[in-house]
Structure 1
Amino acid sequence: ALLHGCIAQAQALDELIVPLLDRPLAEISPIEHAVLWIGAYEFQHCPDVPLRVVINECVELAKAFGGTDGHKYVNGVLHPLGAQLRALEAAAQVPGRKSPKGG
């Protein structure tokens, strides 16, 4: 489902990713581009996967298959994208902020 979803929604995912890039999309390696798609797709369609887990999985993929510092770039793009797409979850993860106590 993840692969098919990323392919089917490639243009929409790029529209989310491109504003966060510091260079043209054509200059991003295909591996990092694919990993960014995975992260963006998971943020939108897999709410059961925590924000931090999505970012960590993508960083690990970029470390394993991407360029030398590609994982740093992926991390730098996915953090603000996650904050944008999952604002409530991201706000709850701000260091020093206490989570609400359950009853």
Structure 2
Amino acid sequence: MQARRIARELALLSIAQLPAKPDRLQAQQLQDVVLAAIRTLTTEVHDTLETAAAELNRSSDRLLSSETRTTDVQSAKAMIREAMDLTQTAVNRLGSALELPEFIQLANQKEVRAYTIELLTQVKAHQAEVDRTIEQAMVDWQLRRLARIDQDILRIAVTEMSFLGVPQQVAINEAVELAKRYSGEDGYRFINGVLRRVVEQYKSESSVT
């Protein structure tokens, strides 16, 4: 995992905990916010493992029922299919849980924390301007009507493009990856479209000047 990719995800998990006014941000407060996000991820690992264990137990119960409590083949097949689905879901959860310890370990690295704090600071410092840019790129929609996670993914991407020197395509790609992990089913397509319109706005503005 790349340091900046981890930092973006950590920043996304932290933004909602920041004070409304950026002038109240202090270095120690930012460190505490990032630490709280890491602790949240640690709890997520534990919860994911518990959920997977419960699903495996349910799968086992279904397999047992298919052998002892069914009176026809169709019912037995249905129970077996359900057991297989539960097992697959549990395996997927375990795979996700196995990735998180690496994420947590990397999140504690100095480089990751430094960029996370830089992102949080810049997002808050320029939020009004960033929000105006996003609003102008949205067609028949308003930023405040989006899910909070989608708002923050867009803010991180536009902040990186505008104030942190991140190449536009890199910022878009990273935002899409965040949306695939944290947004709704089609959220990443919407975010991709908005950010591409933001880039078109930048091009139009630069051609005028």
Common fold by TM > 0.5: yes
TM-score, length basis structure 1: 0.75
Equivalent residue for 1:40? 158
Q: Distance in 2 between matches of 1:39 and 1:54?
A: 5
1:13 aligns with one of 118, 126, 130: 130
Q: Number of residue pairs matched?
A: 86
> Aligned to 1:77, which of 194, 204, 207?
194
Q: Normalising to structure 2: TM-score of the pair?
A: 0.39
Confirm or deny that 1:23 pairs with 2:147. Answer: no
Q: CA deviation at 1:56?
A: 0.2
Is the 8 Å Cα contact of residues 176 and 189 (structure 2) preserved in structure 1? yes
d(CA) in 2 for partners of 1:38, 1:60: 13
- Which structure has greater helix proportion? 2
**For the pair shown, which has the larger CA radius of gyration, 1 or 2?**
2
Task: Give the residue type in structure 2 aligned to 1:75.
Answer: N
In the TM superposition, what is the alpha-carbon distance from 1:24 to its structure 2 partner? Answer: 2.0
- What is the Cα-based RMSD across aligned positions, in Å? 1.6
Q: Which has the higher contact order (CA 8 A, sep 6+)?
A: 1
Q: Which runs of 5+ in 2 are unaligned?
A: 1-117, 204-209
1:46, distance to aligned residue in structure 2 (A): 2.4
% of aligned pairs identical? 35
Q: How far, CA to CA, are the matches of 1:41 and 1:7 in structure 2?
A: 9
Query: What one-letter code is carried by the residue in structure 1 that aligns with 2:201?
Result: Q
CA deviations on 1:12-52 (whole Å, 9 max, x unpaired) are 111111012131222111111001101111111222x3221
